[in-house]
A and B are shown apart, each in its own frame.
Chain A
């Protein structure tokens, strides 16, 4: 393989997939014109990619894949209703908890006031134990499991991205 061949080897692969145009296509054509080895390689790769492509769906497969939207719509609307009910329950629960806390807090503070002051042993024990039991997570696995949706930096918004990740994580399995 010559230096000129090495320079165009990426283009040979892309050309075999029919993915070149403009200056790149012209540069490859110019090289192939004078290099039978690269011409043959491009043919071989084109044949390989041709075999790698899936055939179009036959009638049986096409029938199985038709009308995706109707059952999807039903499922999405069901989830929407479930989400609304859940949000109402959570909101109601939070309000009830706040009211209960407001009513009970003064009484609790009066009866347990002195014990709320932390002793020296309370402050030190759990904090000292924590670093020994903590294990660093495998970041590759974490990323692999969560890297589904992302924003480009130009269009991202922290809150939105979080919501998107949350949507993926909480979706069906």
Chain B
């Protein structure tokens, strides 16, 4: 990574960042990117791309859709960081939290638009894959249909419940981080998760012939 000189680097703070070491590394990478270090940018994207992709895949119709949603998530977070630093050079940047929040919101908007246009989702693609594998095997086919029903029901959960559930099962985030990203208490996150599982069960049972 090219050294741009400490005097040019914005005096930012990245919060929260897991371990202190990881947080300091992230802070340095973000600062370096903001003064023009392209390698630092690549490292930051690489560090978070798995998290972002795991969150947006749920809402994507195709792999290309997921890629587009992930890219938009990063763009917004980086632009937000740049603008935030322009206004408050010593401000704190909760970069990972922003990424999670933006990914969840873009997913929500995408879901709304997909419902409007009745497009085929990745769920359906996955269902097709499962169906083709299950040719001739009735129990496999039945399971494939049940899986599709369950994943469809996830998208019909009330928004907050869906957010908490997907942050847990897709991104495997601890409840403390889920709470922080959604600006709710940890207990509220846990209770929402509980309600989400109950509601999911009801939705699946309602849809079972």
Contacts and interface: CB of A to CB of B under 8 A. Distances in A.
A19 B63 contact: no
B49 A167 contact: no
A106 B89 CA distance: 41
Interface size, A (range): 35 or more
Interface string B86-103: 111001101000100110
A163 B86 contact: yes
Interface in A153-173: 155, 157, 159-160, 162-164, 166-168, 171-172
Contacts of A52: 150-151, 153-154, 165, 169, 200
Nearest to B197: A13
A149 B122 CA distance: 27
Contacts, number: 152
Interface in B68-104: 70-72, 74-76, 78-80, 82-84, 86-88, 91-92, 94, 98, 101-102
Contacts of A148: 76, 101-102, 105
B190 A10 contact: yes
Contacts of B24: none
Interface in A83-119: none
A80 B85 CA distance: 14
B139 to A, nearest CB: 14
B147 interface: yes
A51 B150 contact: yes
Nearest to B105: A148
Given A148-B105, A149-B98, A160-B88, 11 more contacts: A49-B197, A52-B169, A52-B200, A61-B63, A61-B66, A64-B67, A65-B53, A69-B41, A69-B45, A72-B75, A163-B83
